[in-house]
């Protein structure tokens, strides 16, 4: 074999090996986006039958055919949108009528959904053998991408398409709160800290409420973080059983408080700075309440007889059982009205409350069966 033939043969072998290497890479190693049956696909929206509505009594009805995840209002506040436990994004009236479902195939063990302000993007939280994991979705696309594994929960801004999250990376000795685009890109650290499990809620254009993980057996803290100045100020400190819910205008919030043994649960309201504290005389959690659009009225699910449990720890573990009532309170005057009482033989644990703009309907999930219900208030 001549020298030229040998060189040519070597080149052919090298080319063949290169092509084979690329083939192995693309077949086994290259990460490709996960393709889903996304909400943006044509012919993905269908009208659901009215038969999904089940009348309970003259005011109460079940309005979902499957378990509902994280209901909220549509962007204009006129309708309700929620994620089905096994997939499908459903939009419907507060009465449960005119329901339309957009096809969406969820992964297994969907736990919760955090929506952006326009309801066009969301973060879906899944329970896995390795703990809670988050994935980002954009409803106009047919692909999904995971957030970093050290991001366990996100909070969407109410004014722009941004998220805030708390991330801890022990290997890098890093612990900070970040602000990023909805998909997690362009992340910027806005506050370094030593918290292990911070809870975040975006309450204004550059204001984020930050709290420690709630427990009736620990003194919890609440701060306000300014993402522009990166300064943090104390709002409440050394409060056992502290959880909170901010009103829509962002100038007032409610919070819970217990004794050091996690008993004697009480609900309070306060202004943004934690001053002007008012006792509301309701033994319930902020998670079981909803503000009116103007923030002046509060509607809450309250146990008729408060169970003797550790608040809020046992409630989160679903060790709560009580006959519930729906109350309305005017935060300025303190006037309270009983709106509805669930029948003693009906098993309800009201959560994820969504109040209509005219305050005539309350939509919520029942933690006993995870279905969506509509209650006529007027």
pTM of the model: 0.86
Q: Is 115 left (phi over 0), alpha (psi -120 to 50) or beta?
A: beta
Handedness of CA 198, 187, 224, 229 (dihedral sign): positive
Classify burial at 291, counting beta carbons within 10 Å of its beta carbon; exposed 0-12, middle 13-18, buried 19 or more. Answer: buried
Q: What is the pLDDT of residues 303-320, one digit of tens each?
A: 999 999 999 999 999 999
Tell me what pLDDT residue 174 has: 82
Per-residue pLDDT for 24 more than 80? no
Per-residue b or e along 51-87, where b marks 16 or more CB atoms closer than 10 Å to that residue's CB: ebbeeeeebbbbbbbbbbbbbbbeeeeebbbbbbbeb
Tell me what pLDDT residue 235 has: 98
Backbone angles phi and psi of 17, in degrees to 5: -65, -40
Q: How far is CA 286 from CA 222, 231, 244, 307, 350, in A?
A: 14, 26, 6, 17, 12
Q: In the predicted model, what is the mean pLDDT of residues 171-185? A: 90
Q: Looking at 93-185, which runs of residues are DSSP E strands? A: 100-105, 110-115, 121-128, 131-138, 143-146, 151-156, 162-169, 174-181
Tell me what pLDDT residue 310 has: 98
Tell me what pLDDT residue 40 has: 36
Q: How far is CA 219 from CA 70, 246, 263, 281, in A?
A: 28, 20, 13, 21
Q: How far is CA 100 from CA 48, 50, 172, 183, in A?
A: 6, 11, 47, 26
Tell me what pLDDT residue 49 has: 64
Tell me what pLDDT residue 20 has: 38
How confident is residue 11, by pLDDT bands cut at 50, 70 and 90? very low
Per-residue pLDDT for 63 more than 60? yes
Q: In the predicted model, what is the mean pLDDT of residues 53-60? A: 96
How confident is residue 30, by pLDDT bands cut at 50, 70 and 90? very low
* Residues with Cβ within 8 Å of residue 261, at least 6 apart in sequence: 216, 217, 310
Q: In the predicted model, what is the mean pLDDT of residues 188-209? A: 94
| Domain definitions of the chain by residue range | 1-30
Question: What's the rounded Cα separation, in Å, for the pair 305 and 247?
Answer: 27
Q: Mean pLDDT across the chain, nearest whole number?
A: 88
The CB density around residue 261, as the number of other CB atoms within 10 Å, is: 12
Per-residue pLDDT for 70 more than 90? yes
Per-residue pLDDT for 187 more than 90? yes
Number of helices and strands in the chain (H, E): 2, 31
User: Taking the mean position of all CA atoms in its chain, how far away is CA 322?
Assistant: 24
How confident is residue 16, by pLDDT bands cut at 50, 70 and 90? very low
Task: Report the percent of the chain where pLDDT is more than 90.
Answer: 74
How confident is residue 27, by pLDDT bands cut at 50, 70 and 90? very low
Lowest-confidence region among 11-15, 160-164, 213-217: 11-15
Altogether, the residues listed in the chain come to a count of 378
DSSP H helices, 192-294, are none
Q: What is the pLDDT of residues 75-111, one digit of tens each?
A: 999 999 999 988 889 999 999 999 999 887 777 889 9
> Do 320 and 345 meet the contact criterion of CB atoms below 8 Å apart?
no
Tell me what pLDDT residue 14 has: 41
Give the residue from 69, 96, 65 showing the smallest Cα distance to 80: 96
């Amino acid at each position: 074999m001549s020298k030229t033939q040998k060189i040519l043969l070597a080149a052919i072998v090298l080319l063949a090996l290169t092509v084979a290497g690329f083939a192995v890479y693309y077949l086994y190693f290259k990460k490709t986006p996960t393709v889903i049956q996304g909400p943006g696909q044509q012919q993905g929206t269908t009208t659901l039958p009215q038969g999904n509505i089940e009348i309970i009594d003259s005011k109460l009805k079940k309005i979902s055919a499957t378990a509902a995840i994280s209901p909220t209002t549509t962007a204009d506040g006129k309708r309700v949108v929620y994620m089905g436990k096994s997939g499908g994004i459903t939009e419907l009236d507060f009465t449960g009528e005119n329901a339309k479902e957009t096809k969406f195939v969820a992964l297994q063990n969907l736990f919760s959904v955090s929506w952006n302000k326009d309801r066009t993007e969301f973060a879906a939280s899944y329970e896995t053998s390795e703990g809670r994991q988050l994935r980002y979705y954009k409803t106009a696309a047919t692909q999904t991408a995971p957030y970093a594994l050290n991001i366990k929960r996100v909070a969407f801004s109410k004014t722009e398409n941004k998220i805030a999250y708390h991330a801890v990376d022990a290997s890098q000795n890093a612990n900070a709160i970040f602000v990023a685009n909805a998909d997690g890109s362009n992340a910027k650290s806005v506050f370094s800290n030593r918290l292990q499990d911070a809870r975040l809620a975006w309450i204004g254009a550059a204001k984020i409420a930050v709290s420690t993980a709630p427990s009736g057996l620990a003194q919890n803290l609440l701060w306000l973080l300014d993402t522009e100045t990166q300064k943090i100020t104390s709002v409440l400190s050394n409060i056992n059983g502290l959880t909170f819910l901010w009103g829509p205008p962002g100038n007032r919030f409610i919070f819970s408080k217990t004794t050091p043994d996690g008993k004697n649960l009480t609900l309070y309201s306060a202004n943004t700075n934690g001053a002007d504290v008012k006792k509301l005389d309701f033994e319930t959690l902020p998670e079981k309440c909803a503000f009116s659009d103007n923030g002046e009225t509060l509607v809450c699910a309250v146990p008729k007889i408060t169970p003797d449990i550790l608040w809020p720890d046992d409630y989160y573990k679903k060790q709560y059982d009580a006959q519930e009532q729906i109350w309305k309170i005017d935060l300025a005057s303190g006037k309270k009205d009983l709106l509805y009482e669930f029948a003693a033989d009906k098993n309800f644990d009201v959560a994820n409350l969504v109040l209509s703009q005219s305050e005539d309907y309350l939509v919520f999930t029942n933690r006993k069966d995870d279905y969506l219900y509509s209650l006529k208030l007027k």
